[in-house]
Amino acid sequence: MPLSPAEILIVPALLRREQILRSMGILSGRSVKNRLLRHVDEAVERVAAHARPRLAWIRGTADEISTVLDRSRRLDRYLAEADHVVIMAATAGREMDALILSEADPMRRYVLSVASTALTRYALEFAESELGERFPMCSTGKPLSPGNDGLPLGLQRGLIELLPIDAIGIDFDHGLKLMTPLASITAIIGLGSYVWSEGEGCRSCPSPNCPIRLHENLGSAPRHALTPTLSTN
């Protein structure tokens, strides 16, 4: 099965107060000054009004993904536990960058910057939730990102080259290996065998209507009939 066509998904610009506080390193139950809470609540409203977070992803089998990415021990271990793999990039969006730059108050600007980071983290959670709805008989592995989770930062370039990052407003500096907007992220998410005992996986899945299984078994059918879609309107 070839890699699936890339999809662009619109991520809801919905943050909760707790998500921003967590990005500040403030855990639930900790005492927080009212002034900071007012700034956080204001940021939640401004994010909802102005931010346009997006993500792009593709899907392929673990074997296919392993042939198009630079190998590493951590990646090999992760792929060994997956049947299929989703590669994605997500960004809080240039609208958030513009909002941050337009803010003159240092405290408000700081809180908006943290909110932008929280929004990219939420994009990963949104992706996992969306995958759970599309493939309910599978489970997902922990998302891994280059430069974290034991993956080499050099893997970033390989992920970027597979994705239409320009369609979601991301630029990539190949020399510095940096994305802009800075509140952007790439990740690898495994699908499948995490829910089954060793040696099982998609082949033992009882779901006859799983989109992955249909794609594999009906490879001659039109791709649009096999790949789920999500409206981006």
Tell me the pLDDT tens digit for each residue of 55-99.
999 999 989 998 999 888 899 988 888 888 999 999 999 999 999
Cα–Cα dist 91/37, whole Å: 25
Q: Determine the pLDDT at residue 28.
A: 83
Q: How far is CA 150 from CA 58, 78, 88, 125, 223, in A?
A: 22, 11, 18, 20, 35
Per-residue pLDDT, 221 = 34
pLDDT value at residue 27: 85
Whether residue 45 is predicted with pLDDT greater than 70 in this model: the reply is: yes
The confidence score (pLDDT) of residue 194 equals 52
Residue 137 counted as domain residue = yes
**Is 138 within a domain?**
yes
Mean pLDDT of the chain: 83
Residue 48 placed within a domain: no
Q: What percent of the chain has pLDDT above 70? A: 82
Residue 226 has pLDDT above 90, yes or no: no
Give the per-residue pLDDT at 203.
54
- 230 vs 153, higher pLDDT: 153
pTM, rounded to two decimals: 0.80
Contact 44, 115 (CB under 8 A): yes
What the block records as the tokens of 142 is 């922990």
Question: Do the domain assignments include residue 38?
Answer: no
Per residue in 159-213, pLDDT (tens digit) is 999 999 999 999 999 888 889 998 999 999 998 755 444 444 455 454 555 555 5
Give the model's confidence band at 122: pLDDT under 50 very low, under 70 low, under 90 confident, else very high: very high
Read off the amino acid at residue 26: I
Q: Indicate whether 78 belongs to any domain.
A: yes
> 215-225 pLDDT, tens per residue?
444 333 332 22
Q: Name the domain count of the chain.
A: 1
Residue 81 lies in a domain: yes
pLDDT at res. 188? 94
The Cα diameter of the chain in Å comes to 61
Residue 152 lies in a domain: yes
Q: Can you give the pLDDT at residue 160?
A: 94
Cis preceding linkage at 181, omega within 30:
yes
pLDDT of residue 200: 45
Q: How, if at all, do strands 178-180 and 171-173 pair?
A: antiparallel
Q: HEC string of the chain?
A: CCCCCCEEEECCCCCCHHHHHHHCCCCCCCCCCHHHHHHHHHHHHHHHHHCCCEEEEEEEEHHHHHHHCCCCHHHHHHHHCCCEEEEEEEECCHHHHHHHHHCCCHHHHHHHHHHHHHHHHHHHHHHHHHHHHHCCCCCECCCECCCCCCCCCCHHHHHHHHCCHHHHCCEEECCCCEEECCCEEEEEEEECHHHCCCCCCHHHCCCCCCHHHHHHHCCCCCHHHCCCCCCCC
Domain span at residue 76 reads 54-94+120-225
Q: Is residue 139 part of a domain?
A: yes
Q: For residue 10, what are the β-bridge partners?
A: 54
